[in-house]
Structure 1
Amino acid sequence: MTSVYLLMDKNNDIQQGKQNWIIIIVGMLFTVAMLQFRYQYHIFFLEQLQLFIFTKEYAMQLLSTPGGLVEYIGEYLIQFFKINYVGNILIVILLTITGVCIRKLIEDKNKSCFIFECMIVFFLFVNFLDINFYLKGIIGYLFCLIALLIYYRIQTKLFKIRLLIVLLSGLFLFWIAAPFQTLFFVVVCAIELKRHGLNKGKSLFPLFIITICGFLVYIFAGEGAFRIYINIDGVCSLRIIPGWTKYAAWILLPVAILFNPLLEQTFKLIRKSLIKTIIQILLLGGIVIYLLPKYDDNWSLPFKQLHYYATHEKWDDILGYCKEHPLNNNYNCLNYQNLALAEKGILADSLLCYTQKGKYGLYAPWDRIVPTAFVLQKVCYHYGDIAFAQKYAFEGNVNSVTMGFPETLKMLVKTNLLQGQKNVAAKYIYYLQQTFSYKKWADKQYLYLSDTLTMRNDPEYKGKERFKEKENHFTYSNELYILAGLDKKDKKLRDFVLCSLLLDKDLPGFLNWFDFYNKDTSFQNIPDLYYQALMACAPSVPDVLTRYSVPENIKNDFEMYSMVYSSGRNSAEKQKWLHSQYKDSYWYYFHFTKIEHE
């Protein structure tokens, strides 16, 4: 009878092993699909947040500091995220190897339980979706697991030998993968407790050692060093305080070491391996469905997608996305939307066909954060404000934890070339020449250092020399207005100024600028939006109708709109009717769209 049960258990193990491999393959394919179809632009955006330079000096700079090796490997891999599919595949490979290593570390004779490794991998995946979490957080975790697997194989050695190996391994991990030596010591303590019990308190020695080391680092090196080299903060941006999801993968590993045997014993009560698998899949599915939408930074995905389109000047794609997914109060996204309208030459014609939220939708307020720097440098550059494009590129670039951001460095090259600051441009060109993705572009710019005429004929630069830097010009907050006043024939700048005033509901300002432009005979083909704004001014400035020739159909529409708006109908009912007829009109925007300062 015993032999029958043994045979059944063996068959169940074989079946469970096959099911586990199927789960691994399906999980890999599912993760690749998610990364490609939902988080594709997150991966592209990560590549924009660093600049990996192929120089010995840069390598020595990283490798000479604790944790430098995993940081170097992480940055090296991320540079290839610019290539479609490569980032997805690399991340899935790293997570799969991590899961297999955890399986090897925690499994007992019974292999039916896979929930712990899946949960740890899931939390690492969630952390990866946060731009404040560095890829070295996954690579360092993998290095730590490899060290733990080696340590797990020496459990038959004397405690003194094990302790010596722990100390040497911890020091090695500190140098190549700080702060993962902390996780290593904690998990070693869990392994000691599992394999040898309390052992007269000796099993707690690793925990005692890392606690003392952490305390000494905090006292003598300060909180900053403690966060970087001891705490989990070292794998995140120091500008944030890591949330609980960042700690989950660290906490679950020692928990898995200690409690996986108990879970395995519980699952032995279920004889059919398929039922065990289904139970765990349902539990994991519930965790993923509940936690992923809450912690995957989904609020930032529209910006990352629009940023990708803007970087590659895919203006039609931006407008298509904004039409399908109307934007709300994200000014950076609205800036990309309206920049696309301007580049297509239809800013005034189609302004209110898209969501608008005041003048900041054209030019976001400067809040000194990197995404806003990315946006404003593009807005200024495409409108011809080279000096301010240079300013925002520089402001954004100083926030980089590497040698800079690719797009800000490229902007600094272009703006410095246009401003004639060739020595400064040469410095940034040199950085880009040492990269994988931007060397070809940088080599082309290098030729322009000695050939200004060819540069000015390049479509990338032609017509961009609009504003020469002069003393204290950065004190002006409305430089695009200055440029618009200097060049009345520039339609793009003209529409920017007039649309900005209309979005801000500044009708007197609009009238002044409209009159300024109307004196120029080149102001032809006036958009309906401007005529609608003139009609909105008419009740307070009656001579508008005599000064300007407003089409009859615009007058009739305004009369109908005013009649309904002034009627005694219920406010909600009135708005509903006007929305159905006039939602794209300036009058509807003026009355029903709330802007920030109102």
Structure 2
Amino acid sequence: MTREKTGRQIISGYTELITSVIFGIMVFVFFAFFYKYHLYFVEQLQLFLLTGTYFLDKIVLPGGFNGWIGGFLTQFYYLPVTGALIIAILLVSIQILTKHILQKFIPVRGLLPLSFLPAIFSGFIICSELFPLSAITGFTGSLAAAYIYMRIRNVNYRFITGIILIPVIYYLMGGAFISMVLIMIAFELIRSQHPVQPGKDHNKTKISGTDPRKRLNPWQTVFYILLAVCIPLLVRQFIIFQPVKQTFLSEFYHNIPDKVPSVIIILFVLPFLLIFICSLIPPKYFKNNYSIIAQVIIILAAGFYGSTKWVNFDAEEIMTCDYLVKNQKWDKVISFAERKPPRNYLSLAMLNLSLAKKGLFGEKMFNYGQHGIDGLFLRFDKEFISPMMGNEIFYHLGLINASQEYVFESMEVMPNMEKPVRAIKRLAETNLINGNYKVSEKYIKLLEKTLFYRKWALKTRKILFSEDLINRHPDYGEKRKLMVKEDFFFHVEDIEIILHRLLRNNPENRIAFEYLAGIYLVNRELDKLINILPMMERMNYREMPRGYQEAVFFYMSLTNQNPLSGSRYRISTDVISDMNAYAKIYLATSDARELLSPKYSGTYWYYYHYVE
């Protein structure tokens, strides 16, 4: 009989281990392959410095050590799959800790499915870029502290440990100390009423009786509550003055410090709620298959709800385009757009830049559903994403000061007031190109104190004060040739005038020409487009891109003028044939849009007539 029980326990233990491993693999696969660009995006939003000063600046704040740990781990998102591995380890740790904590209250193995609930909840939270990894590291640390507390059998030692843990975990982990305190109180008030009798099999333990020697006195438990309330208030009064909510919850659980969403409170309270609810149910009900099925249904329902509320694949598409553009992987942006056409201005703007960099803007721009000038240039709208991404367009056009201005604007509106490493790197580049070497050096020095940008900083420092090396650099030298030398006032509303200035400064600035032509096309200003066509000959276009041909032939049909007379460019027979077929349907039918869409939605004519 003993061997049979031991065998069942071994099998049960392996089942729990395998289940946790499978969960970890699922988390890893999700973040490594389906949500990886979210991690890349989050990594660039912090500037983690490997200096003692940076460490001290963090740990003087309540929860600052947790913030430092979260930031330290977040920097590894820079490496492929490493971020996914870190998240998987943390979430599996939460699940295992929750399982052991629950088994201290209800000593049966039938609670395994419920132990995944806090881990799943934590995983969904960090699917949003507004929740830092420190929200999870702090929660994990608090659960670990609670479990350590529960393992202490001696009442006096446990009470002393509790007195020490409350201020220590509050100051190290911040707001998640609430989880630990609630579990400690539950352990003394609930579990002590139904202790596990030593020497009994957990599956057959009779939950009854009480041993006063094994639990704290009620006043000691009340003292825990008073300590948990008073410690933050004392810190607020004598160390750092903050709003009361921020004092208790700390600033490292949400990237908008003065706003702590209710989901964080739910996360902190969730283990206690599981303990409380499960303690109300007789343990025998957790031993049958119906209990397991019910728990699995709860987990699946929570997973479905969380995936619809928190997992944002639209944002993942934007972050994919942003990452590829930031790393100048133009072909991959275009390939991605062919699989998943842009559904917003941010992705469309990154695609248009990629088309322009590959010399395909005039040829293919209307293959991807243009929507006016907002798909060409991103306006600054009081949040950090648009200017952060929009600076890339100005940078590659040669509008270095405009790029720099957008980067500064993005830093000013960062919700957590961090200085993003991406912005620091771009400021080092723009000042280098402008010849502001001392300013550039200031930013390079910061990057030299990072783990993954140090190599780039050291390499860039070698060319810092060398005009010749900078002018011969494939990127910085090109930008110097494109940029306007004289000062001018920049506003995105005046972009047409600014592009003309770029072309006067450098008539071979092909990207500036294609963006200017793009403005005239999306604004339906065909007269202006016709006026700039002679510039193409100076840029050695072998033939006129199809998008321009469609617009020019349409202009010819409207005005009976041939703007290409005397030019070496011609309208292809394919364009003529396609427009004649298009016009035949357009003029003959009242529901022409539906008939034209399948074949002609990628043409300028369709855009001209039907796109708002």
**In 2, distance between residues paired with 1:183 and 1:470?**
60
- Please say if 1:354 is aligned against 2:368: yes
Q: Which runs of 5+ in 2 are unaligned?
A: 194-215
**Superposed displacement of residue 150, structure 1:** 2.8
**In 2, distance between residues paired with 1:522 and 1:310?**
26
- Please say if 1:576 is aligned against 2:576: no
**In 1, distance between residues paired with 2:155 and 2:313?**
49
In structure 2, the partner of 1:473 is: 489
Q: Secondary structure at the match of 1:563?
A: helix
C-alpha change, 1:452 and 1:570, in structure 2 (3 Å) is same
In structure 1, the partner of 2:426 is: 411
**In 2, distance between residues paired with 1:433 and 1:150?**
40
In structure 1, the partner of 2:445 is: 430
Deviations 1:109-138 (A, max 9, x none): 212212332000001111111111111111
Which residues in structure 2 correspond to 1:520-535 (within 5 Å)? 525-535=543-553
C-alpha change, 1:189 and 1:529, in structure 2 (3 Å) is same
The answer to whether the 8 A contact 1:517-1:523 is kept is no
**Superposed displacement of residue 178, structure 1:** 1.1
User: TM-score under structure 1 normalisation?
Assistant: 0.88
User: Of the candidates 324, 328, 332, which is equivalent to residue 317 of structure 1?
Assistant: 332
**In 2, distance between residues paired with 1:521 and 1:304?**
33
In structure 1, the partner of 2:68 is: 72
C-alpha change, 1:278 and 1:22, in structure 2 (3 Å) is farther
Deviations 1:88-120 (A, max 9, x none): 111111222222222222213212212332000
Deviations 1:479-506 (A, max 9, x none): 3343134333322211110112212333
C-alpha change, 1:314 and 1:522, in structure 2 (3 Å) is closer
In structure 2, the partner of 1:193 is: 189
The answer to whether the 8 A contact 2:190-2:279 is kept is no
The answer to whether the 8 A contact 1:70-1:136 is kept is yes
**In 2, distance between residues paired with 1:268 and 1:380?**
62
Q: Secondary structure at the match of 1:178?
A: helix
In structure 1, the partner of 2:387 is: 373
In structure 1, the partner of 2:213 is: none
- Please say if 1:152 is aligned against 2:150: yes
Deviations 1:416-454 (A, max 9, x none): 011111111010000111111111111121122221211
Deviations 1:41-88 (A, max 9, x none): 222222111121111211111122221111111111111221122111
User: Of the candidates 474, 477, 482, which is equivalent to residue 501 of structure 2?
Assistant: 482
**Superposed displacement of residue 532, structure 1:** 2.0
User: Of the candidates 452, 455, 461, which is equivalent to residue 470 of structure 2?
Assistant: 455
In structure 2, the partner of 1:141 is: 139
In structure 1, the partner of 2:129 is: 131
The answer to whether the 8 A contact 1:359-1:501 is kept is no
Which residues in structure 2 correspond to 1:46-125 (within 5 Å)? 46-107=42-103, 108-125=106-123
Q: What amino acid is the match of 1:561?
A: Y
Q: Once structures 1 and 2 are overlaid, which stretch shifts more, 403-412 or 161-170?
A: 161-170
The answer to whether the 8 A contact 1:123-1:248 is kept is no
C-alpha change, 1:88 and 1:541, in structure 2 (3 Å) is same
The answer to whether the 8 A contact 2:394-2:402 is kept is yes
**Superposed displacement of residue 334, structure 1:** 0.8
Question: How many percent of aligned residue pairs carry the same amino acid?
Answer: 22
C-alpha change, 1:234 and 1:52, in structure 2 (3 Å) is closer
In structure 2, the partner of 1:551 is: 571
C-alpha change, 1:551 and 1:311, in structure 2 (3 Å) is closer
The answer to whether the 8 A contact 1:538-1:544 is kept is yes
Q: Once structures 1 and 2 are overlaid, which stretch shifts more, 549-558 or 502-511?
A: 549-558
**Superposed displacement of residue 13, structure 1:** 4.1
Which residues in structure 2 correspond to 1:161-560 (within 5 Å)? 165-196=161-192, 203-207=221-225, 209-211=227-229, 224-231=242-249, 234-238=252-256, 241-263=259-281, 265-268=283-286, 270=288, 277=292, 279-328=294-343, 330-399=344-413, 401=416, 404-465=419-480, 466-468=482-484, 470-471=486-487, 473-475=489-491, 477-478=494-495, 479-514=498-533, 517=535, 525-538=543-556, 541-544=559-562, 551=571, 553=573, 554-560=575-581
- Please say if 1:15 is aligned against 2:11: yes
The answer to whether the 8 A contact 2:366-2:602 is kept is yes
C-alpha change, 1:331 and 1:305, in structure 2 (3 Å) is same
**Superposed displacement of residue 154, structure 1:** 4.2
Q: What amino acid is the match of 2:490?
A: F
**Superposed displacement of residue 587, structure 1:** 0.6
C-alpha change, 1:474 and 1:493, in structure 2 (3 Å) is closer
C-alpha change, 1:563 and 1:396, in structure 2 (3 Å) is same
C-alpha change, 1:81 and 1:200, in structure 2 (3 Å) is closer
Deviations 1:15-45 (A, max 9, x none): 3322212211211112211122211222222
User: TM-score under structure 2 normalisation?
Assistant: 0.86
**In 2, distance between residues paired with 1:410 and 1:130?**
24
**In 2, distance between residues paired with 1:561 and 1:380?**
36
C-alpha change, 1:544 and 1:122, in structure 2 (3 Å) is same
Q: What amino acid is the match of 2:113?
A: I
C-alpha change, 1:498 and 1:439, in structure 2 (3 Å) is same
Deviations 1:445-468 (A, max 9, x none): 112222121111011212211334
C-alpha change, 1:570 and 1:397, in structure 2 (3 Å) is same
**Superposed displacement of residue 412, structure 1:** 0.8
Q: Once structures 1 and 2 are overlaid, which stretch shifts more, 442-451 or 221-230?
A: 221-230
**Superposed displacement of residue 526, structure 1:** 2.0
Q: What amino acid is the match of 1:125?
A: G
**In 1, distance between residues paired with 2:330 and 2:539?**
30
Deviations 1:199-232 (A, max 9, x none): 7676455445545666788899999533433137
Q: What amino acid is the match of 2:94?
A: T
What is the count of residue pairs matched by the alignment?
580
**Superposed displacement of residue 538, structure 1:** 4.3
- Please say if 1:41 is aligned against 2:37: yes
**Superposed displacement of residue 397, structure 1:** 3.1
Q: What amino acid is the match of 1:449?
A: L
**In 2, distance between residues paired with 1:224 and 1:349?**
56
**In 1, distance between residues paired with 2:169 and 2:287?**
40
**Superposed displacement of residue 261, structure 1:** 3.6
**In 1, distance between residues paired with 2:245 and 2:3?**
53
C-alpha change, 1:230 and 1:581, in structure 2 (3 Å) is same
The answer to whether the 8 A contact 1:484-1:497 is kept is no
Deviations 1:127-174 (A, max 9, x none): 11111111111111122112212322346525xx76654343221122
**In 2, distance between residues paired with 1:28 and 1:218?**
39
**In 2, distance between residues paired with 1:304 and 1:266?**
49
